[in-house]
Amino acid sequence: MQQEVPRTTRLALVERNDPDLPLSLQARLLGVSRSSLYYQPRPLSAEEIALKHRIDEIYTQYPFYGSRRIREHLHRDGWQVNRKAVQQHMHEMGLEAMYPGPNLSKRQQQDQIYPYLLRGLAMSRPNQVWGMDVRRVGAEEIPVKDRRG
């Protein structure tokens, strides 16, 4: 039953007021720890909610900031919080700094390699060889001018 039914559903099956079936036996049968039957999560304080809102504001403005820079930003704003607490709040909110991944400078194997066709060619006159730099630019970035007049 443990692999088929999610943990939250198994915890909902516990009957706390059944005198014939003690909680320890129910926990063992359902495959959950007995201590999880007694756990009551504490509600967040107003200060903690305000701190999380501020961390979210900083992260929205600077998504490349990690926990260290967010902590420094919070210190400048007057919050006395350590980096581990900022890390914990960021983890709870699903925030992670944007940073470049590994091996970005390695060539993709599916990319085609074009040969250098000008090797050995003597360039002796003007306009014999032309070069062009082709880069992809999004269509929204290209200014369109009406040249008809």
For residue range 90-141, list pLDDT tens digits in order: 999 999 999 888 877 777 777 777 888 889 889 899 999 888 877 666 656 6
Q: Inform me whether the pLDDT recorded for 12 exceeds 70.
A: yes
Residue 146 located in a structural domain: no
Number of domains in the chain: 2
Measured distance CA(97)–CA(107) in Å, rounded: 25
Residue 112 located in a structural domain: no
Residue 68 located in a structural domain: yes
Residue 56 located in a structural domain: yes
Residue 66 located in a structural domain: yes
Same domain? 60 vs 89: yes
Residue range(s) defining the domain that contains residue 80: 46-93
Give the residue-averaged pLDDT of 66-83: 96
Pair of tokens at residue 50: 């305000």
Same domain? 55 vs 81: yes
Residue 25 located in a structural domain: yes
> Quick one: pLDDT at residue 54?
97
Residue 101 located in a structural domain: no
> Quick one: pLDDT at residue 134?
72
Question: Residue ranges of the alpha helices (H) in 1-149?
Answer: 7-12, 23-30, 46-61, 67-76, 83-93
Residue 82 located in a structural domain: yes
Measured distance CA(52)–CA(47) in Å, rounded: 9
AA identity, residue 69? R
pTM score over 0.85: no
Same domain? 29 vs 59: no
